[in-house]
Structure 1
């Protein structure tokens, strides 16, 4: 199943580096939502640094892996099945959404509106998206490897989309990511009333890291 493939391929990311990037924006009493938490690596890192955090994802298998990861580390956090295109019935201080979650979603304006409604006054939304340059950089990309399992990962550009195909010994998985100009995201945030919008460099040089507040 793809959740286990994803989990394995995400295992070598430097999550301490990502926490170091995030930490200046987190206050001691903040409640943080990891939106699109996947199998829980970043959520685990936040909890290890005593951040009051919870996670949501729209894949039950991912959430099961996240739960197992936290239990193995003797950590606890609420985990919920949720699609970001639907309204969030919570209030938190910070919402983070990393590892190009937003590139997988259509209907970004509705997603951002739902996120805004879930933020407390003066709340922060911090997320990453791919830069447009990845469209050409990854067009025709092919990776063959046998660690942590035998697989081939190929990527093709289709206008403003990246089409991914992952082939293992048993399955074929196809994924689509939507790559937009930076201005697309900034304009939507501004139209919804977000303030102090910044696009920064961060841990992954292929991405924009965007921070917006209420």
Structure 2
């Protein structure tokens, strides 16, 4: 997976993303002042919004390019947010954290159950007892219907793209192929190709691994905590707490 070019146009693709709903979901479950590590923070939009709401939050992502955009946005907003490049499966440098968040498909970049397990173990290791984990994932239904040989496109003056999604080889997985045409400084359009793989697992799989890794599930929901999941749910939310030893 590469984010070298993708990072700088990611926010264009995410214009309609429900960031305010993610913030509201987290606010309803975490008191202000909570110390949070936002894992797979991307370009830091959610991270920044939570900092502006009074949370002590840091951002972690694997992509230097994503983190560079996130840091620039925080600096412009005059918010002192620490951003660290780390793999979510190998978190370090944090301890006794109140909460960890992993929103906007971050968990869906883990393609194997063992990677999910390593991630939950890494998160548990930095959380305090009773520390909270909040995350969401695409549902299997969404993976099998919304990304079934679909084509998305946008034609804008400085950036245009074609986005093709098709089922992956693994169960409940998808392969995203994106082609961007980006206008450079001299007015010439350059082609950039990106490929991204995502996968999800049944809620019972996430629940079982959470239990194995020392978490107690408080709530599994849909619609940002407003409803119980049904078969046609597109995004599933997990609210878990680290069990006391």
Q: TM-score, normalised by structure 2?
A: 0.83
Q: 2:7 aligns with which of 3, 12, 22?
A: 3
Find the counterpart in structure 1 of residue 29 from structure 2: 25
Find the counterpart in structure 1 of residue 196 from structure 2: 175
Please say which of residues 80-89 and 196-205 is displaced more in the overlay: 196-205
Larger Cα Rg: Structure 1 or Structure 2?
A: 2
Q: 2:129 aligns with which of 108, 121, 124?
A: 121
Separation (CA, whole Å) in 1 of partners of 2:88 and 2:143: 25
Please say which of residues 119-128 and 17-26 is displaced more in the overlay: 17-26
Kindly state the Cα deviation for residue 58 of structure 1 after the two structures are TM-superposed: 0.7
Separation (CA, whole Å) in 2 of partners of 1:208 and 1:14: 14
Kindly state the Cα deviation for residue 85 of structure 1 after the two structures are TM-superposed: 1.4
Kindly state the Cα deviation for residue 87 of structure 1 after the two structures are TM-superposed: 3.6
| Secondary structure, aligned partner of 2:94 | coil
2:111 paired with 1:103:
no
Mapped contact 2:25–2:224 kept (Cα < 8 A): yes
Gaps of 5+ in 1: none
Kindly state the Cα deviation for residue 39 of structure 1 after the two structures are TM-superposed: 0.4
Kindly state the Cα deviation for residue 117 of structure 1 after the two structures are TM-superposed: 0.6
Alpha-carbon displacement from aligned partner over 1:76-122 (angstroms, at most 9, x marks no partner): 11111100111423121000000111110141101100000110111
Separation (CA, whole Å) in 2 of partners of 1:34 and 1:58: 12
2:65 paired with 1:61:
yes
Kindly state the Cα deviation for residue 28 of structure 1 after the two structures are TM-superposed: 2.8
Find the counterpart in structure 2 of residue 190 from structure 1: 211
Kindly state the Cα deviation for residue 167 of structure 1 after the two structures are TM-superposed: 0.7
Mapping of residues 32-47 of structure 1, within 5 Å:
32-47=36-51
Alpha-carbon displacement from aligned partner over 1:44-100 (angstroms, at most 9, x marks no partner): 110111111110101111111001111111111111110011142312100000011
Aligned residues: 214
Find the counterpart in structure 2 of residue 153 from structure 1: 163
Q: TM-score, normalised by structure 1?
A: 0.94
Find the counterpart in structure 1 of residue 184 from structure 2: none
2:156 paired with 1:144:
no
Mapped contact 1:186–1:197 kept (Cα < 8 A): no
RMSD, matched Cα: 1.6
Find the counterpart in structure 1 of residue 238 from structure 2: 210
